[in-house]
Chain A
Amino acid sequence: MLINKPFFQFGLVVLTVLALPFFLRSGIMASEILIYGMVVAASNLLLGYTGLLSFGQGIFFGTGSYLAGIVLTRTGVPVGLMLPMAAVLGTVIATLVGGLSIRRQGVYFVMLTLAFSQLFYFLAYTFSDLTGGDNGLLDVPRPMLNGEQLVDPWSYYAYVGVCFVLVFAAMLLVTQSTFGRTLIAVRENEERAAAIGFPVRVFKIAAFAISGAVTAFAGALHAMLIGVAPLSSIEYHTSEIILVMTIIGGSSSLYASVLGASFYLLMADTLSSIWPRWLLLLGLVLVVVALFLQKGLWGLVEKIYALLTHNRIPPEVEPSDLGTDTTAKGE
């Protein structure tokens, strides 16, 4: 389908960056959408492309956020160097967490990722000298450009926008590469992929590493956006909303993730101003998505596109089925 082709997806990404300022009044909100767009796409790389449902993406997000906080407030390292550092640290931690979690499969894997997210939360909580504990790290500065700090939200938005486009291009390349194709093979039939001779575990860990790098990178951008590296960015709830955005968006293309992130953030913004207990409504939305919108919002877009062009959607193998494997009965 045309709308899932990489060049089309890249076009959508560029268009999104250019169009958001016309639709949103708040530059903070717009930047947040782009940042979470990256985070969710990274989660989608695991769920949609590799078939790994990770409940621990908040670990990497929080890692990046703390790294930005520590490096920018306590050392003289410039932002241009800090961001790659965040990506590297994210890679290292994701390799560790991913490597341990994939020792178990199916639902055990999901439970492990969730338990690891708690582990890192308590690490951050316990070592408060480094992380500021409950308060987090305050006064994280925005980056400098031409000797001027990007205090205005929209000028920081431009900075984030450039990062967003670059990161997304890189991720599209990854999914188009032989590596990305192999990930799909792992998702579709892990045993067969292993039988052909692919080192399945190495591929899964590599997917984790990339996902961790992107998520930590985005976490660092987020800390600079809000000026704080809070404890909440490594909490269970962060992992939860990343996963929720991923599934709401859908997993048949990377841009689906941007859609999922935008939908969630805009819904959160609108509903939370009406009713502080809006998460109750979110819970109901999740049920509705599971019952009626299993391919997510992007699935809806695909359907509309097919109707408009009178194409039939080719019958696909169920994507992101984390349980097609042998773990169904008593792994």
Chain B
Amino acid sequence: MIYLFQVLNGIGLGMLYFLLAVGLSIIFGLLQFVNFAHGAFYLLGAYLTYDLVERDISFWVAMPAAAVIVALVAGLTEASLLRRIYKLPHTFHILVTVGLALVIQEFVIVVWGPLGGSVATPKSLAGVLIIGDFIYPYYRIFAICFTAVLAFVLYWALERTRLGAIVRAGSESTETMALLGYDTLRINTAVFAFGAGLAGLAGALAAPIRGVEPFMGVEALSVAFVVVVIGGMGSYVGALAAGLLVGVIQSLMATIWPEGARLMIYVAMAFVIVTMPRGLFGRV
């Protein structure tokens, strides 16, 4: 029973990891840009939710608001700063986004303090579901269902809509898109804001489960990297499978060997790299 419980927890966690990784992956696909500030956007999303809920604003308003604010911040950053450095080597992409991550992290500490806090689950989802021996919090069930629906909508939007086609075409060749008359600058900004917004949303959803603390961004960034390395960047199915795998491993290990739960994520990654250097769904 405990294992079933942990597998469910793992799926919930894994869906959050998937949201994180897919945002990173979309941004990389279009902009050829590794966003080391991705974890910081997750952090910001979590703290904005925390702040809004503390002000007695309903979680159902706070969560989308946090994601939208993060997207706006990211969009502004892209339009004012990041677009100037795309043509530079990767080294400087990393330097600038590492700098951006530091700025956001320290900003969070300045505004909300270094200690962190907890976010109450929304009242409508406060209870637990009891079926026989099985007990599970409603909020976590909601988180799993919500991210599952979101994953499906994302997939549909990317693969079946005109907007998705533009994003995918852009990641094949930005030049061709520009020649066809698309405003690639605006598309870039929008996609960056969207990817960051997904990270912010993941942070907002995670806040009632794990609380907030200023260094959760670093952890989120490295987990997103692990998911992308295992699943293959630019692979939607890969991100989903790898996200779930990582989430379930972490949750199961939390029962079997609590101290080593997070260690095992990285061990799993090393294992995948040794056995399948291209990742589970890596194409080339």
Contacts and interface: CB of A to CB of B under 8 A. Distances in A.
B212 interface: no
B127 interface: no
Interface size grouping (class) on chain B: 35 or more
Given A280-B102, A331-B284, A110 B90 contact: yes
Contacts of B91: 47, 53, 247, 320-322
B229 A115 contact: yes
Interface size grouping (class) on chain A: 35 or more
A323 B89 contact: yes
B104 to A, nearest CB: 8
Contacts of A111: 34, 225, 228-229
The B contact surface, by secondary structure, is helix
A180 B175 CA distance: 38
A282 B102 contact: yes
Contacts of A236: 218, 222
Given A107-B90, A277-B110, A322-B90, A284 B99 contact: yes
Contacts of A112: 225, 229, 269, 273
A60 interface: no
Interface in B193-237: 218-219, 221-222, 225-226, 228-229, 233-234
B109 A283 contact: no
A290 interface: yes
Contacts of A290: 85, 88, 92, 95-96, 99
Given A116-B270, A283-B101, A106 B90 contact: yes
A124 to B, nearest CB: 10
B4 interface: no
B28 A287 contact: no
B266 interface: yes
A330 B173 CA distance: 11
A24 interface: no
The A contact surface, by secondary structure, is helix
Interface in A75-120: 100, 103-104, 106-108, 110-112, 114-116, 118-119
B275 to A, nearest CB: 11
Contact of A330 (B85, B102, B109, B283): B283
A285 B100 CA distance: 10
Contacts, number: 133
A302 interface: no
B118 interface: no
A330 B234 contact: yes
Nearest to B224: A111
B11 to A, nearest CB: 22
A123 B222 contact: no
B17 to A, nearest CB: 13
Nearest to A55: B94
Identify the interface centre among A106, A279, A286, A294: most chain B CB within 10 Å of its CB: A286
Nearest to B233: A108
Contact of B269 (A115, A244, A284, A322): A115
A289 interface: yes
Interface of A: 47, 53, 55, 100, 103-104, 106-108, 110-112, 114-116, 118-119, 122-123, 125-126, 236, 240, 243-244, 247, 277, 279-280, 282-287, 289-291, 294, 318, 320-324, 328-331
10 contacts: A112-B225, A116-B266, A119-B269, A122-B263, A125-B263, A243-B98, A280-B102, A283-B99, A290-B92, A322-B91
A-B pairs with lowest CB-CB distance, top 4: A286-B99, A119-B266, A283-B102, A280-B106
Given A279-B106, A328-B32, 18 more contacts: A55-B94, A111-B225, A111-B229, A112-B273, A114-B222, A115-B225, A115-B226, A115-B269, A116-B266, A247-B91, A279-B105, A280-B110, A283-B99, A283-B101, A284-B99, A290-B88, A290-B96, A321-B89
